[in-house]
Amino acid sequence: MALLKIRKFPDTVLKQPASAVEQIDGRLNGFIDSMVQTMYAAPGVGLAAPQVGDSRRIVVLDTDHDDPGKHLLKLINPQVVEADGSIIWEEGCLSVIDFTADVQRAARVLVRAWTPDEKEIEIEADDLLAVALQHEIDHLDGKLFIDRISRIKRELYRRKITKMIKEGKADGKPPSAVRI
């Protein structure tokens, strides 16, 4: 297991939809374990495979800051099958440096996915877990949370990060808010 490089906006890999995992095997488990290590080291509460340059539909999540690992989720081919209500949450992202924004999402979701031990599961979630699941599944669909904010705010961020990159000031550190 090794730490993986987290891709940063505007890397084009972040805009590409991920492909379904067709076969769950030992190599996949090793990759998922590396994703988990990378997520904790970042630190963040979630990480999707496209964020580390892999085009498969894989997500890892752990929203329990007090007891890391106790509620760790390793999800393969996750999909939201039900969503209702509305919640606004300040989001940050390991792939979107120096920026947070309020994002409107479903307040409650039901997600269906496979685990690395080939079991199909359903997760009912609300609050931070619901937001994190939707955020990470967006990554699998080639979307970033900044795609869910106003065009003006998104363009201002794009210009800011482009300038920072040109000036060599983009240190790659995510913002101090909860990084999903």
What are φ and ψ of residue 138, in 5° steps?
Answer: -55, -45
- Torsion angle in degrees (nearest 10) through CA of 115, 118, 123, 129: 10
- Tell me whether residue 22 is one of the annotated catalytic residues: no
Strand runs labelled E in 17-175: 46-48, 58-61, 73-84, 87-93, 96-105, 108-114, 120-126
Cβ atoms of 120 and 114 closer than 8 Å = yes
- Give 124's strand partners: 110
Q: What is the DSSP string of 23-34?
A: ---HHHHHHHHH
Instruction: Name the catalytic one among 22, 136, 155, 167.
Output: 136
Number of H helices, E strands in the chain: 3, 7
Q: Which are the catalytic amino acids?
A: 136
